Every structure is written in structure tokens, then in C-alpha cells.
């Protein structure tokens, strides 16, 4: 049920993408206490993104989840772990990346043909 979508304006090799997908899935899943079975990580590279008026490496991400996000404490704990991963794998500094946190209701997302409600 957690979906993390990362959009960046840089290119990544297939090897880097695979490594980033695995690490984000593992770390975010553990932070949210969600089984890997439900984790969805989506990476869009080579996007047209301007941040602070320049096209230097930048990005934005959205984390949607039923529970585990929404409070300052939860969102800061996730940010503390996810920002360094993105900087390490993608080379985007923290001051050129936004992460939006979206708390979903159980009826707002479906899996295997049914919502989680």
C-alpha cells in the first residue's frame, strides 16, 4: 500500500535504478512497518524539472501510505533516512528535493481488486 514515486531530472544507469529501488523499498517498508509485498517504488528519470530557477540536479517525491505518515514526527523520521539515500544514489542535494507525504484512507487504494477497507 505504500507508494513512493521519485521524479528527477538526471539519468541513472539500470544498475543504479535497481539498487535505489531495492534500498528505498527496504528502508521505507521498515520505517512504515509495512510488508515488502505491499511496497511500490516508482522512479522517473530524465524529467524536465526546474528547482529554485535552475535545471541543476533536482527532484520531487511523493510518499502515499495508509498510516505511518502525516505527523511531523513520522515525516521527519522518514525524511531523515530517505534524503541521504537519494543524495547517495542520485546526487541530488537535500536543498533541491521535496518529498510530499500523503496519508491515505483504507478505502483510497486497492490491491488485488479490492480496497484495504
Mean pLDDT across 53-75: 97
Report the share of the chain in percent with pLDDT over 70.
100
Quick check: is 84 catalytic?
Answer: no
Average pLDDT of the chain to the nearest whole number: 97
Q: How confident is the model at residue 1 (pLDDT cuts 50, 70, 90)?
A: confident
Choosing from 2, 35, 57, 84, which is the catalytic residue?
A: 2
pTM exceeds 0.85, yes or no: yes
| Domain parsing of the chain, residue ranges | 3-115
72-80: long-range contacts at Cβ-Cβ below 8 A with a sequence spacing of 24 or more?
Answer: 74/101, 75/99, 75/101, 77/31, 78/28, 78/31, 78/32
Superfamily of domain 3-115: Macrophage Migration Inhibitory Factor (3.30.429.10)
65 within 8 A of 25, measured Cβ to Cβ: no
Q: How far apart are CA 11 and CA 75, in angstroms?
A: 27
Q: What is the pLDDT of residue 18?
A: 98
Amino acid at each position: 500500500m505504500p507508494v513512493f514515486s521519485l521524479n528527477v531530472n538526471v539519468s541513472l544507469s539500470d544498475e543504479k535504478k535497481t539498487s535505489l529501488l531495492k534500498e528505498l523499498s527496504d528502508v521505507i517498508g521498515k520505517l512504515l512497518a509495512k510488508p515488502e509485498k505491499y511496497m511500490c517504488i516508482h522512479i522517473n528519470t530524465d524529467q524536465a524539472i526546474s528547482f529554485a530557477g535552475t535545471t541543476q540536479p533536482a527532484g520531487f517525491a511523493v510518499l502515499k501510505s495508509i498510516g505511518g505518515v502525516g505527523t511531523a514526527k513520522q515525516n521527519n523520521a522518514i525524511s531523515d533516512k530517505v534524503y541521504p539515500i537519494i543524495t547517495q544514489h542520485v546526487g541530488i542535494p537535500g536543498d533541491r528535493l521535496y518529498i510530499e507525504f500523503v496519508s491515505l484512507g483504507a478505502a483510497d487504494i486497492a490491491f488485488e481488486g479490492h480496497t484495504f477497507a
